[in-house]
Chains A and B, each alone.
Chain A
Amino acid sequence: MKITVCIKQVPGTSEVEVDEKTGVLKRDGIDSKMNPYDLFALESAIRIKQQFATEVTAITMGPPQAEEIIREAYMMGADDGVILSDRRFAGSDVLATAYTLSQGIARDGIPDLIICGKQTTDGDTAQVGPEIAEFLNIPHVADVRKIIDLTSEHIKVEMDMPQTVEVVEVKLPALITVAKDINEPRLPSFKLKLASAGRPVKRLSLDDFSDQDEMNYGLNGSPTQVIKIFPPPANDDHEIWEGSTTELAGRLFEQLSEKKFLQR
């Protein structure tokens, strides 16, 4: 069985601010890490590997330094790693990202199972997974909270819905996105670190894809455009209270009574 896991490198911190006057981002020294949701995806694949003869490939689209997270995936137990890196992928929105990943994933044939994290902490759209499935023309199940069973033909999973949990059986090949309660991701292992130290990470660019039309990648292949970015608007109907604890608690008590929040 072949499983591909999509992982992404994201900024290590969420402390980003935008300067009100210039509209410029303030962020010094970016450290990066693996998207935390993707750890659950990797863990799911590694657990399958412990039961089945499985080859787990980790794939990412990103700059060359994204090799770090592929190495991390090796340390968790992934067998193979691929980075899709090309200047022509710059400015990709969800559609272009998913398309690029689908090209990279399907290069050596569609794997039996593709596992994505539910969402990223930077893009935070939860859309890339389903779009990859569409480009590969395979079924997908989002928000999987448990893998119940897997055979060479099917995967049986629990899908998390707002009011229900559905058990569905999906014919392979298929794509799933996993919710974060699905498992407890293991820590990278030192033994695997040593074992995988010399293992190469495959670098692919647009020239390696079956579709080489530049118009389908990067900014050209992105229907959405960021018109501008700006700081969130402030609520102008606000007052600030300062004073002693007794004063403040007293004032708040009065306001809550006035607004009838204490009468229920």
Chain B
Amino acid sequence: MAKIIINHDKVKDPQKIVELCPFGAIDYINGYLSINSACKMCRLCLKKDTDGVFKYVESQRPQVDKSLWNGIAVYVDHLEGDIYPVTFELIGKAEELAAKTGQPVYCLMMGHNIADSAAELMHYGVDEVFIYDYKELEHFRIEPYTAVFEDFIKQVKPSSILVGGTTIGRSLAPRIAARFRTGLTADCTVLDIQPDTNLDQIRPAFGGNIMAHINTPDHRPQFATVRYKIFNAPEKKGTSSGNLRRCTIDAAKLKSNIKVLEINAKELETGIEDAEVIIVAGRGVKKAEDMEMIMELAKLLNAQVAGTRSLIETGWLDPKRQIGLSGRTVKPQLIITCGVSGAIQFVAGMNGSEHIVAINTDKQAPIFQNAHVGIVGDIYEIIPALIKNIKSGMEVKS
């Protein structure tokens, strides 16, 4: 643990000092400089300050015996035994990390009548699957689910825990992390591991075009959530391996103040998450009518249409079709972005795509850094021309 202190003697121009912080965390009140609670400990003030006004001091850090914590655990998210794909992607990543540190990979699955589905996990090379099968766990309710998670952690003591960024994961992971007074990093896009088992967690942060590299150096377990389609699932093996361990928990711990009254299926619409081809509309699309050309191109390419947040805000597309940090993550074989600048929050949701084509009039647009093919041009010219080409190409064929 550490803090930043201000060396008041070295201050020449207090106003300049205040401006060093992009988060407005430096106050100058009644002739006195101080750091307020907006400080994010990014230490930019230390970097930018040339007069030695700021000093970074380490103070005493909590001690944790890391040797007592071993293994990488994956929380198995499922709906009535139907395991969500993000779980397999996390297993793939867990195995990669475990190979570097020589740790085992564990799965934790809770629910009711789940033994058969749990057995499927044994085809993905995990070392041990822990299952808690109780009627009380049939539906997701936060208190019993947290209690089971706690029981698992106390028994197994995994060093790192990966949870899918699903509705359940985003509710359960913070709850259990808070119970252990430990760190949780949300929506990681890169994960790596140090020899001392510290998890290197990287995520877009600070609401800007920046990546933050985050560690949980003095606490165990370390929690990270990751969204669907960020990592790759391993191949399913023909043979099964590892242990399946049924666990028991005191029924008193499964009490809940929540009653599930109804579960209604949502109308399932074809989403963008599983699409193989996606056409993305950005703010370069000027009018609602102009969405037609995007739709037409999508139809010809058998593609789904998606949008940036700015476009979604105009109301021309359903919010479920937003790609990005606060939208969906996609990984299609082809994605064509039309009039999209390429902000990190958008790119974070699509840079795993196999082939990225970007059309933008501005040669400096950040999207060109991420596109495999960057076309400097006007969507109002290129798209109609492309549509024409495709249509006449079809005529030739038929």
Contact = CB atoms under 8 A, between A and B. Distances in A.
Contact of B171 (A11, A130, A248): A130
A51 interface: no
Interface in B139-194: 139-143, 146, 166-168, 170-175, 177-179, 181-187
B204 A140 contact: no
A219 B3 contact: yes
A11 B208 CA distance: 10
Contacts of B146: 134
Majority DSSP secondary structure for residues of A touching B: mixed
A191 interface: no
Interface in A215-264: 215, 218-220, 222-235, 237-242, 245-246, 248-250, 252-253, 255-257, 259, 261-262, 264
A141 interface: yes
Interface residues of B, number: 115
Interface string A124-149: 11111111011100011111000000
A208 interface: no
A93 interface: yes
Contact of B143 (A11, A90, A139, A163): A139
A14 B309 CA distance: 12
A211 interface: no
A94 interface: yes
Contacts of A92: 37
A17 B25 contact: no
A7 interface: no
Interface of A: 10-11, 14-18, 22-25, 27, 30, 32, 61-65, 84-87, 89-95, 98-99, 119, 121-131, 133-135, 139-143, 156, 159-171, 174, 181, 215, 218-220, 222-235, 237-242, 245-246, 248-250, 252-253, 255-257, 259, 261-262, 264
7 contacts: A25-B206, A94-B183, A129-B174, A130-B142, A134-B178, A215-B62, A220-B59
Given A32-B24, A227-B214, 15 more contacts: A14-B207, A16-B206, A16-B207, A18-B210, A24-B48, A27-B22, A95-B183, A131-B177, A139-B141, A169-B259, A226-B212, A249-B382, A250-B389, A253-B390, A256-B301
